[in-house]
Amino acid sequence: MKFKKIYLSNWRQFNLIDIDFHERVTIITGANGSGKSTILKILAQHLEWSHKFLAVPTYDEKIDEYVFKNHDDGISKSDGTHGGSIHEIGCITYSDDEKSTLSINKNLNKIEYEINVENKNNQIKGVFIHSHRASNSYSEVTSIPATVINPYDSYKKHTSAYKQHLEDKSFNGSPITMMKESLISMASFGIGNSFVKKNEKIENTFLGFIDILKKLLPAEIGFKNIKIEMPNVVLETKSGDFILDSTSGGIMALIDIAWQILLYAQDIDLFTVVIDEPENHLHPAMQRTLLNNLVSAFPNVQFIVVTHSPFIISSIKESNVYALQYDAVNDLKKVNSFQLDLRQKAATANKILREVLGVPVTIPQWADDELQRICAGFSGEKITADRLEELRQELEVVGLSEFYPEALSNIMGNNYHD
């Protein structure tokens, strides 16, 4: 079972959200505050994550107290199962064409509230990967269970640690520590030796994780293998060995994403992975290849991703890409969704940033200013081979030689933002 569609109307910042989910990859983008993560939080309610939303407190002079507003005027109905009046905000359609109504309690007595997913399809299975990544500060594994940690239990422990890590700042545990415990357990009891009988499923999980990392980690690192140097997990690479805890934020983000999906895939074939801002901590080159590598590594998974990255937006040809954009609605600014066509998806990162995310160019502001200054010195002059060589040299001096085509276009009378 997969997600097929989500529809939202007249709720929070949304005017009309109408998104058809691709069976493999759906990408949602938009500026901060456009509601990308809100959509994922609704989907995540199917994946054992619960999220609360905040109503707007408004003082009511008639009753001399604050009331909490959580919706715009729209369809409301009385439903005894909710203890009073409810307000419909949309619906979710699944791959079997069954629908779940999304609603909220109309009358609130507190600022926090939840979305009711009526007739929720419990056949939807999957993984929700939060935008906040777990820190990888060193934490020593002090004990290993006497029995092997199976993939399901490992996933549950990892997710539980993640939730505590996000919700409780005093929590001393770490999802990375849970990962290390599981890897050491799998290496000890899964592979087996002359005295310990191997567990084939656990062995396949451990070796499968190694294979996934070979596909997902940057080729420059040259990842080769995982070895255990008690009590540490060591990554063997062509650039040298290092312990798991010492990896960079970007590499750890990739490892963590791969680990969660791989564990879940051991017991369920078809499922959905919902990822909030996968570009966090990743170099642009890694952003460009991430989704392609994930789709290749997990061919039966439906991916739904929200992102600010133009490199991720344009990275998958076979996908649905939606942008959330503020439009004027009855003198208010409200968010509507619109689907990007194939030409926009194949466009350059600059073009996508300009038209969808509202950013003119990908280069830093200082570099943009420097490029404009240099171009101004050549504008209006006759273009000769000598002057073009001077242009190349000036760009090279300030470290902008790669923008020679843009500079030349500007000098010829075209704004390089076009």
pLDDT tens per residue, range 189-231? 888 888 888 899 999 999 999 999 999 999 899 999 999 998 8
Could you tell me which residue, 415 or 291, shows the higher pLDDT?
A: 291
For the segment 69-77, the average pLDDT, to the nearest whole number, is: 50
Question: What is the distance between the alpha carbons of residues 90 and 40, in angstroms, rounded to a whole number?
Answer: 14
Band of the pLDDT at 298, cuts 50, 70, 90?
Answer: very high
pTM more than 0.75? yes
For the segment 345-366, the average pLDDT, to the nearest whole number, is: 61
Q: What is the dihedral of CA 354, 358, 363, 364, to 10 degrees?
A: 160
Q: What is the pLDDT of residue 293?
A: 93
Band of the pLDDT at 295, cuts 50, 70, 90?
Answer: very high
Lowest mean pLDDT among 67-71, 180-184, 274-278: 67-71
CA-based max dimension of the chain: 83
Band of the pLDDT at 288, cuts 50, 70, 90?
Answer: confident
Band of the pLDDT at 322, cuts 50, 70, 90?
Answer: very high
**Considering the chain, what percentage of its residues have pLDDT values greater than 70?**
84
CA angle 362, 365, 370 (to 5 degrees): 105
Q: What one-letter code names the amino acid at 52? A: K
Q: What is the pLDDT of residue 273?
A: 97
Give yes or no for residue 34 having a pLDDT over 70. Answer: yes
Q: What is the pLDDT of residue 169?
A: 63
For the segment 94-102, the average pLDDT, to the nearest whole number, is: 93
CA 368, chain centre distance (Å): 29
Give yes or no for residue 127 having a pLDDT over 70. Answer: yes
For the segment 251-257, the average pLDDT, to the nearest whole number, is: 92
- In which residue are the tokens 């990962």 written? 179
Q: What is the pLDDT of residue 236?
A: 95
Give yes or no for residue 79 having a pLDDT over 50. Answer: no
**Considering the chain, what percentage of its residues have pLDDT values greater than 90?**
36
Residue 27, burial from CB neighbour count under 10 angstroms (0-12, 13-18, 19+): buried
Q: What is the pLDDT of residue 60?
A: 66
Give yes or no for residue 340 having a pLDDT over 70. Answer: yes
CA angle 94, 98, 103 (to 5 degrees): 85
Band of the pLDDT at 77, cuts 50, 70, 90?
Answer: very low
From the list 367, 368, 350, the residue with the least C-alpha distance to 359 is 350
